[in-house]
A and B are shown apart, each in its own frame.
Chain A
Amino acid sequence: MQRSTISRRHFLKSSFLSGAWVLSLNLPMAAQAKTKQPSTTGWSLYVRVHKNNQVTMESPVMEMGQFMRTTGPMMFAEEMDLDWQSITFIRDTRLHLKRDDEGKIDFRYVKANTGGSHSVRWTWEYLRKAGAAARQMLIQEASEKLGVPIEELSTTRNTVVHSKTGRTITYGDLAEGASQRQINESQITLKNKNAFSIIGTDKRNIDLKDIVTGKPLFGIDAEYPNCKQAVIARAPAIGAQIASYDKKAALAVPGVQQVVEMSSQEETHWFNGNVQILAAGIAVVADNLWAAMKGKAALNATWKNTHDAAKENSEERIKKFYDLVTDDSPAERSKDVGNVDEAFSNADFTVERIYEKPLHAHALMEPFNCIADIRDDSATIITGHQNPKAIAEEAEKYAGIDALKVEVISKRMGGGFGRRYERDFVREAILLSKKIAQPVKVTWMREDEIERGMHDPACVARVKAGVKDGKITSWFYRQAQTKAGIQDSCFPEGLFENFRVERCSNETFIPAGPWRGPQHPAWAFANESMIDEIAYKLDKDPLEFRLDLLLPARELPYTNWGATIKDSGRMAICFQEAAKMADWKRKRPKGRGIGIAGHVCHGSYAAFVIEVSVIDERLQLHEAWGAIDCGLAINPNHIRSQMEGGFIDGLNAALFNKVKVEDGKVTNNQFGLLRMGKLEDAPIEVHTTIISNDHEPTGVGEPPTAPAAAALANAIFAASGKRLYRQPFAESFQV
């Protein structure tokens, strides 16, 4: 036994719970040890091993279609040597928080939020260590029970094996004893990658059967005892306030119990400065949802708007952006390498183009919903959120409940894409529950979700390139946008001797938030279109032209979020592999063409080729081929899935997704008015190659989306000779 050697700071604790063995690890994370923070920070994940050798696991990161409910357990099960088929997964995830020495709320165990294509990176070390620790405890227990040295024992599929004697003992038989053990982190060794038997294999979504049989997995399906149902009539325009409503009429609807006014709130938003986070509204509280919906209609609410945002008009903004990017007014210069002006004057020729990208809606399939039960000194909140920690923080801030006394139950999300990182739909439910002193579920209608969008910003970018002796020598990118910044450290940054990026400031009231690879699609669309155009002007093959820029391979600094370096060789390989699959050199018949584009973001590299035809002004998408380098591939099946969905999502955004704001109000507030890509709009197939290497795993949720617009525009040019600079493309062609 090793107990005497264990320091209080490095210990592992387990307990016996409801007949199953529950492992809870408390070990400081390596990252924190490095930064010399207090090691009271712990990490943990719950796994239960039952006597019959079956296992129950709680997947720590909730699902929004990014497959982390499957990927996370794969990492854990790999190191614990679990039989994948023996695991049953708990549907919901509970939040575990702690308060650090400064009183700040943090995750008690693993970092359980999801966003920025980072959930694998945030959990990769933790979950493997947790699995390895569990395995070590089981081995120690087996060593004592069998009376053989630890070194002679191995594990496979929920079993400890003593190969010398052929004796085996199951995890189920060892669990209770093992759970009493404590081990030091130094006793944990992680597997060599060559020994992986779960990581790197195709695994299916752990919730597949529940989904296809319609089980109640989502927040919107959740029920809660004595819970009221509420629907809120929200001011549709930014800044608008209540003018009038018919309270009596709403209360006259059978089932309606209360009508409650909700205040608007403006605040400094983490993403983009000051925004209106909550709309003014009138909540109709009823004993069933249909009554609340009818009550809302009966309100016949009208609104008034004296806020400056009442003049907000997205089309006028975009027009103004064209002026801003073409004049020489002072702008924030985020990159300025070499002498751009001199290089332009020495160039053989320059090309200058302006690219436009509208506001993109999130348009999540599952309308927001949140159950809040705010009690005197504790609370329960049930919803699907990308950052469950934020839910407890909201309850602390807006209901005065100690965050550690807030029970947060995370449900599967019907889409996230960055919008479920926002707090608005949670805060409303908290405020309403507090006000009516009852548990309440607030359900949004579709129109609310689009009207209250935290859109991907609209932006206009001017790109000017200077070419000398067949090479790009100078590059200037100047952008104006409704909000937010520029992803100015992605390629082609670092590839040209003279390089400048400018951001024109033009503060709008139109809100913005993270949208699947925030601002990456805008950057990739403009720059990858321009590179393509120059290749054609120089009569060079667009693939070869890109490879010449990227090779020889070199590591370059990366200053945007999500990585510190970018490797031009890894980018080049993606282009090569995508092109190879597409049979790039094969000449396509008249009216057909292929286009290529690639992008680096969140530490991953992705490139796509797409084939389209343009016949009689009618655009048709045929087939696409994509290659991704996301480091070590944990679940190839779901990487392919993200490559397919992420790329098509990007195509749909480029083709159709344009939010219009007039008088501060979103005018196309329905799926039909927005136009969402459907089956008939999608390419027949998206083929994927995963570049295998030994880099640490990086994300796959966002990288496939950014290259889509440029790949499509470049393919349209190849097919039709017409180059598109303005999204949505469906305004230029019949689709």
Chain B
Amino acid sequence: MTIKFKINGRTIDPTNVDMEMPLLWFLRETQKLKGTKFGCGIGQCGACTVHIDGEAVRSCTIPLASLNGKDIRTIEGLAKSDNDLHPVQQAWIEIDTPQCGYCQSGQIMAAAALLAKNKNPTDEEIDKSMTNICRCASYTRIRKAVHQAAKFYEA
């Protein structure tokens, strides 16, 4: 079986890789993209959230075999450049959202996917769409940062 997909704009043609392997481990172990985090391995916590064709997806449950032709974006590929961060990243900095920081890549990817569809979400819409777990409970700042990011989008 040969497949091809894109990660952060780069075409990947995985060879000698177990096609059952979830995307999470391919990103972390094979591609050395460590920003996408392992939290539970069964799609419950959202620490491994990436974008596949623009949708927020929990990469720990997506086998490589299902990715042919897909366009994958990870936290490392969210910003245009190191000096031109994505509005959600800028907002996360502005609000100083993270505590331990472990879940935040996933939170940011979830927020970016939400804002791509809904430019100005209400608190209820944010709560409904973002179900990633933060054990530090940085939730009030996460909500604020999403609103802040919406403002950055407008600007």
Q: Which residues of A contact B (CB under 8 A)?
A: 63-67, 204-205, 207-209, 211-218, 220-221, 223, 254, 288-290, 293-294, 363-367, 412-417, 443, 445-446, 637, 641-642, 644-649, 651-652, 670-672, 676-680, 682-686
Contacts and interface: CB of A to CB of B under 8 A. Distances in A.
Contact of A414 (B35, B37, B76): B37
A645 B132 CA distance: 15
Contacts of A290: 18, 21, 25, 29
26 contacts: A63-B101, A65-B136, A204-B93, A213-B79, A214-B34, A214-B75, A215-B35, A218-B34, A221-B28, A289-B25, A365-B47, A414-B100, A414-B101, A417-B135, A443-B38, A446-B40, A446-B42, A641-B138, A641-B141, A644-B140, A649-B137, A652-B137, A671-B40, A672-B44, A679-B142, A684-B140
B130 A446 contact: no
Contacts of B133: 365, 671, 676, 678
A414 B47 CA distance: 11
The 9 closest A-B pairs by CB, nearest first: A214-B35, A414-B102, A65-B100, A214-B75, A65-B99, A648-B137, A682-B139, A221-B34, A680-B127
B115 interface: no
Contacts of A670: 40, 42, 44
Given A212-B89, A213-B89, A218 B139 contact: no
A531 to B, nearest CB: 26
A348 to B, nearest CB: 42
A220 B135 contact: no
A648 B140 contact: yes
Contact of A637 (B38, B96, B134, B138): B96
A216 B135 contact: no
A213 B37 contact: no
Interface string B113-155: 0000000000100111011111111111111000000000000
A208 B96 contact: yes
Contacts of B59: none
A218 B140 CA distance: 24
A649 B127 contact: no
Nearest to B90: A212
Contacts of A678: 127, 131-133, 139
A220 B140 CA distance: 27
Given A212-B93, A365-B45, A366-B39, 10 more contacts: A63-B100, A213-B75, A213-B82, A214-B35, A223-B32, A412-B101, A445-B41, A641-B99, A647-B137, A679-B131
Interface in B11-58: 18, 21, 25, 28-29, 32-42, 44-45, 47
Nearest to B105: A214
B92 A208 contact: yes
Given A363-B135, A365-B134, A684-B140, A216 B100 contact: no
Contacts of A686: 140
A412 B108 contact: no
Nearest to B101: A211
Nearest to B139: A682
Secondary structure class of chain B's binding surface, majority of residues: loop
Contact of B101 (A217, A416, A637, A682): A217
Interface string B68-93: 00000011101100100100010011
Max chain A CB contacts within 10 Å: which of B35, B41, B102, B133?
B102
Contacts of A412: 100-101
B98 A211 contact: yes
Contacts of A679: 126-127, 130-132, 134, 139, 142-143
Given A208-B96, A214-B34, A678-B133, A684 B89 contact: no
A80 to B, nearest CB: 24
B140 A205 contact: no
A71 to B, nearest CB: 13
A653 to B, nearest CB: 10
A642 B100 CA distance: 11
Contacts of B102: 218, 365-366, 414-415
Q: Considering residues A67, A290, A412, which has the most beta carbons from chain B within 10 angstroms of its beta carbon?
A: A290
Contacts of A214: 33-36, 74-76, 105
Nearest to B145: A212
A686 B89 CA distance: 23
B135 A676 contact: yes
Contacts of B134: 365, 679
A671 B141 contact: no
Contact of A364 (B25, B99, B126, B135): B135
B29 A289 contact: yes
Contacts of A637: 96
Contacts of B25: 289-290, 293
A682 B140 contact: yes
Contacts of B32: 223
A294 B19 CA distance: 13
A208 B39 contact: no
A649 B136 contact: yes
B95 to A, nearest CB: 9
Contacts of B21: 290
Contacts of B78: 213
B137 A645 contact: yes
